[in-house]
Structure 1
């Protein structure tokens, strides 16, 4: 890891600059707003691509992304037109809920997955991206909520509406804030659905992390993907007592805060999220064996009595 004196919950040693740009997909006539987080380290540990939740933007997840960048990771936060902040046209809670529900559909999910594939294809080729991004040989995927569902599919979740595609071999690890899956009444089993996720995968959720009135997702649904992934090493589940959906957004937007009327200050357990997620990337993106040992053996002692941490 960084060394015994650097707490993974504390800001890392690298100064971080940010940059905005756009990537244009001519084939799909679709432009993706991008935000880059660039640490001033001469040897980045890896590159992480981040996907926001419904109604979000490239500014989403900044609390997580800025922290990871300070520990030496390059970050690329993409914005997904059609399920981003463009759907927030009316500030009334009822109108916002209707807009969110309308955007939560298989077509938008397909667009999001294709956005990831397009960005991965442009790494190493697009002149608007810096050389450090192009030189990344180890890539991680992360997302919150609808972004978590997006990275589940990228990692190998199988759905009838989403045909499988080969994953870029540079992708080494996946982190999902508020992942989800409903129990299937018909069709393939959940073991089949998640049985091809062999990448290291960290799921982070909370005991109050439900659909917040937007869907029938419950806090229990957030644990389903982990439960049905193969036990082949590198699978982790972290559940924070009392944690609600926006605690895992990494900064809630004004619209989200107004709609859900929940606390806006950082949760008491945020330092534990920062520590676990940073060391997960150290272990499985940067390939640090000592970090993997710390995550499974040392990290649990930091948690509160009602929090849960599992791995397999």
Structure 2
């Protein structure tokens, strides 16, 4: 997040820093009150981007940045994004893409000081189609205006809001680490974790994988499902796993196999409206964007899969007596995190969606997706499944679509997992505050320091890497995060599905400290109050917003 802010801060000074005179924007202009109008030539900026040289014109601005920041900025300018023009076109013409570009267009204005939405979209598509590919340099070359006007005042407001939030987040993470340390010192006096079985290692039970294709004809949803079934005589408790946007049932294979080795049956499904296959079709121009109905369909997908498994339990000799349908848990990541929270009793919060989405002025990227739910008819949707007894949500998105009144309907044991460097589902708004809204005392907040939105996902393959993620957004080596989820999921579901209290010590702060590995340092807390968060935030809005754009002044 801090590196992201450095990029953003410098980007406000010299966004899209290069151009070829005559082919695109030749100057970047911005008004910085009370000092007046400033302007930078594209030629001066291009020299810096290509050669690293700072001439007399640029030196006035460059002198206000550190060498490290200038190096990072130049690296960003030279970065090539391997994205096809069809993908760019599909995204920028989708409701979500248009919302993102219109927000960006408030910062990057045209010559006449209008929202730069159309110019940015055109430049993105043309750059992606160019043989040199989509780069920041090429983007400005294709910008259909002689100059690009930077809304510097609003940009500074955004940077300041994000900077304040990062500082407040650091204070909150420090508070959680302090609580973990304090409670761990007490626990360590009674628990010797070195003498307990290592839940990070595979269990001893063999398992078998079976694949199904369940077809919900009523909703026209074809649901691929992989079932990992332990080879044991007694019925196994069942865990269902829901993936995130543009992902698939292979994203958590490592976790499914691990749970199966400990005696859990695991059903991993794909959501056809938002899985990797749907996004591949969408980016190829063969399908439309994910629909708002996906917020309803995803929980219904899980319900349908459970119904199908129960029916096969009665008719399929290979499944009869193999699954205990009285002991079902659910795991979800990102959009899948929302999915399992809704299945656990979370209610769609149309009042909160109206506040956050009409219009959407937040700086929280996930709210752009959550606001799609505002397109649904405002009514009570029966999404909860009473068969599910415990839920584990990794990097869930929920602050607007569920909000406080939606989340406090979840009465089940719940674990929320958060990464401090997650810029797509920001931890304070999407996991830490929501944790305080959960009413059940059997709740756990797991915070992985320096983890990103992708730290819990298995390494992508060539087949399922539909949205290539830049290396800088992947974060540190993900192996420790995998080990944390393996151990904590076994402990959480053994404790709260099977009532095996000997697993509860693994859910305590002392265990987090015992298995923690830098730089992905692990913390666990079982209690945190809204008052503590407010004190740590010191007045900073956990969901910062930017003011509505002011009316455009007349051009003389």
Alignment equivalent of 1:194, drawn from 395, 407, 410: 407
Partner in structure 2 of residue 283 of structure 1: 495
Write out per-residue CA displacement over residues 31-60 of structure 1, whole angstroms, 9 at most, x where no aligned residue. Answer: 211101011122354101111111122223
Q: Which has the higher contact order (CA 8 A, sep 6+)?
A: 1
Partners of 2:383 and 2:397 in 1: how far apart?
Answer: 22
Tell me: CA distance 1:206–1:162, structure 2 relative to 1, closer, same or farther (3 Å). Answer: farther
Q: CA deviation at 1:258?
A: 6.0
Partner in structure 2 of residue 268 of structure 1: 480
Partners of 2:262 and 2:323 in 1: how far apart?
Answer: 19
SS at match of 1:125: helix
Partner in structure 2 of residue 66 of structure 1: 257
Are residues 1:207 and 2:420 paired? yes
The answer for unaligned runs of 5 or more in structure 1 is: 212-216
Tell me: CA distance 1:183–1:43, structure 2 relative to 1, closer, same or farther (3 Å). Answer: same
Partner in structure 1 of residue 224 of structure 2: 33
Normalised by the size of structure 2, how large is the TM-score? 0.48
Are residues 1:227 and 2:404 paired? no
Partner in structure 1 of residue 399 of structure 2: 182
Alignment equivalent of 1:158, drawn from 347, 356, 370: 347
User: How many aligned positions are there?
Assistant: 294
Q: CA deviation at 1:123?
A: 3.1
Are residues 1:52 and 2:264 paired? no
Q: 8 Å contact 1:6–1:12 — kept in the other structure?
A: no
Deviates more, 1:7-16 or 1:301-310: 301-310
Q: CA deviation at 1:73?
A: 0.2
Q: CA deviation at 1:137?
A: 2.1
Partners of 2:208 and 2:268 in 1: how far apart?
Answer: 14
Partner in structure 1 of residue 301 of structure 2: 115
Partners of 2:509 and 2:399 in 1: how far apart?
Answer: 31
Q: 1 or 2, which has the higher helix percentage?
A: 2
Write out per-residue CA displacement over residues 177-225 of structure 1, whole angstroms, 9 at most, x where no aligned residue. Answer: 11123369xxx9x4312111110011112111221xxxxx423233132
Partner in structure 2 of residue 240 of structure 1: 448
Q: 8 Å contact 1:44–1:72 — kept in the other structure?
A: no
Tell me: CA distance 1:133–1:115, structure 2 relative to 1, closer, same or farther (3 Å). Answer: farther
SS at match of 2:479: coil
Q: 8 Å contact 2:342–2:383 — kept in the other structure?
A: no
Tell me: CA distance 1:27–1:269, structure 2 relative to 1, closer, same or farther (3 Å). Answer: closer
Tell me: CA distance 1:307–1:124, structure 2 relative to 1, closer, same or farther (3 Å). Answer: closer
Q: 8 Å contact 1:61–1:251 — kept in the other structure?
A: no
Q: CA deviation at 1:90?
A: 7.5
Write out per-residue CA displacement over residues 213-255 of structure 1, whole angstroms, 9 at most, x where no aligned residue. Answer: xxxx42323313212211x321111111111111112443545
Alignment of 1:130-141 (within 5 A): 130-141=319-330
Partners of 2:525 and 2:339 in 1: how far apart?
Answer: 23
Q: 8 Å contact 2:237–2:323 — kept in the other structure?
A: no
The answer for unaligned runs of 5 or more in structure 2 is: 1-194, 351-377, 528-556
Deviates more, 1:115-124 or 1:61-70: 115-124
Partner in structure 1 of residue 38 of structure 2: none
Tell me: CA distance 1:136–1:250, structure 2 relative to 1, closer, same or farther (3 Å). Answer: farther
Alignment equivalent of 1:22, drawn from 207, 213, 219: 213
Write out per-residue CA displacement over residues 245-298 of structure 1, whole angstroms, 9 at most, x where no aligned residue. Answer: 111124435454862123595333432221111100110111111212332264
Q: 8 Å contact 2:240–2:329 — kept in the other structure?
A: yes
Alignment of 1:97-108 (within 5 A): 102-103=289-290, 105-108=291-294
Partners of 1:208 and 1:297 in 2: how far apart?
Answer: 21
Partners of 1:183 and 1:170 in 2: how far apart?
Answer: 26
Radius of gyration: which is bigger? Answer: 2
Partners of 1:102 and 1:260 in 2: how far apart?
Answer: 20
Tell me: CA distance 1:253–1:132, structure 2 relative to 1, closer, same or farther (3 Å). Answer: farther
SS at match of 1:156: coil
